[in-house]
Amino acid sequence: MSLTWPWHFAPVSAPDKQQRRELLDVRGYVAQLSVVVVVCAIRIYQSYSKATEGAVKQRSRCRDQPWWDRPPFPGWTETRRQYAVCLIWLGWLLGLSVWKTGDDYLHLTKALGQIGMSQLPMQVILSPALYLSNSKPGAPSIISSLTSLPQPFLNPYHRLCGRLILAPLLLGHAILYFSFFLQSASPRPEFSSLLAKRLRDPDVQWGIGAVCSAFLVIFVLIRPFGGRRGLSIRPAGASAKDKRQRFYIAHVALVGVFCLAAYAHVVHTDLCARDSGLFRD
């Protein structure tokens, strides 16, 4: 299957398959280790640099704010600085995904999924904990505790990492696989394409479920407060605390669905790869 861009599908030898598996693992480790390095660097900077004292505080949105610390468009909540940081991180992860893929289309496709899922723990430790009991206040995230950065400062990065990092990587993984299936002939004559056959396989179905649940979490289910429209789970007249609790429960439930679907997708993909060498790395 030849494409008009640098990557294309071509059979690989058994040693090359093993090398690709090892490279996929290395990418995941490097991506996660990068998060640890950044957290450690921030912690050191916060602890030993006097110049940072009082520098990271929740700032009121006023007209005299620097251009860098204002939203790029009216009505947006995140600032240009926050978008820039997340886009730089996305660029690093995309570069890591492309690293040593050569012209192997499927290797790039798998790398995008591997790198995308490697960032899920970062999203978890960026998120604050909200206790449902009225006697316990919400707790800051693990990242907040490790870096001494206030949770309100980290919340925009938690949202943007989902929209600008997780979503593009996982969506790219899914789109490239669907394109490959669509352009490949099915080994069974009753199907018009490989896509028609693969849509009946559990690994692809779980993958679609994971992408759909991620889309709901990131783009449809919105925070209780803010100007964006999205899926409403809050009855009219509910208190602010009730709104937060309902949002938190729905958010965590959908994240759980995503994790379950992603895990099942990987397990069934591995089983499919063992049954047929066609989809192995």
Query: Are the C-beta atoms of residues 135 and 146 closer than 8 Å to each other?
Result: no
Token representation of residue 164: 């600008």
Are 96 and 152 found together in one domain?
yes
Are 253 and 164 found together in one domain?
no
Among residues of the chain, what percentage have pLDDT more than 70? 77
Kindly report the three-state secondary structure assignment for every residue of 18-77.
HHHHHHHHHHHHHHHHHHHHHHHHHHHHHHHCHHHCCCCCCCCCCCCCCHHHCCCCCCCC
Q: Is 169 part of any domain?
A: yes
Name 186's Cβ contacts closer than 8 Å, sequence gap at least 6.
192, 193, 194, 196, 197
User: What's the pLDDT score for residue 88?
Assistant: 97
- Using one digit for the tens of pLDDT, what is the confidence trace for 210-239? 999 988 888 776 654 444 444 555 555 566
User: What's the pLDDT score for residue 271?
Assistant: 67
Distance, CA of 200 to CA of 264 (rounded, Å): 15
Distance, CA of 188 to CA of 56 (rounded, Å): 60
Are 32 and 107 found together in one domain?
yes
Q: Is 33 part of any domain?
A: yes
Are 174 and 251 found together in one domain?
no
* Count of C-beta atoms within a 10 Å radius of residue 116: 25
Are 244 and 134 found together in one domain?
no
Are 171 and 236 found together in one domain?
no
Number of residues that this document lists for the chain: 281
DSSP type of residue 93: H
How many distinct structural domains can be found in the chain? 2
- Please say which residue of 185, 218, 234 terminates a domain: 185
Are 173 and 278 found together in one domain?
no
Name 8's Cβ contacts closer than 8 Å, sequence gap at least 6.
1, 2, 103, 105
pLDDT band at 139 (very low <50, low <70, confident <90, very high): confident
- Please say which residue of 185, 216, 251 terminates a domain: 185
Token representation of residue 133: 């009991």
User: What's the pLDDT score for residue 281?
Assistant: 40
- Using one digit for the tens of pLDDT, what is the confidence trace for 153-182? 999 999 999 999 999 999 999 999 998 888
Q: Is 4 part of any domain?
A: no
Query: Are the C-beta atoms of residues 233 and 247 closer than 8 Å to each other?
Result: yes
Read off the amino acid at residue 60.
S
Distance, CA of 102 to CA of 144 (rounded, Å): 39
For residues 178 and 17, which has the higher predicted lDDT (pLDDT)?
178
Are 177 and 217 found together in one domain?
no
Q: Taking all residues of the chain, what is their mean pLDDT, rounded to a whole number?
A: 80
Please report, to the nearest 10 degrees, the dihedral formed by the alpha carbons of residues 270, 272, 274, 275 taken in order: 170
Domain that holds residue 77: 21-50+68-185
3-state secondary structure of 78: coil
DSSP type of residue 279: G
- Cα-atom radius of gyration of the chain, to the nearest Å? 21
Are 131 and 258 found together in one domain?
no
User: What's the pLDDT score for residue 279?
Assistant: 42
Are 209 and 261 found together in one domain?
yes
Are 149 and 218 found together in one domain?
no
Are 27 and 126 found together in one domain?
yes
Name 82's Cβ contacts closer than 8 Å, sequence gap at least 6.
156, 157, 160
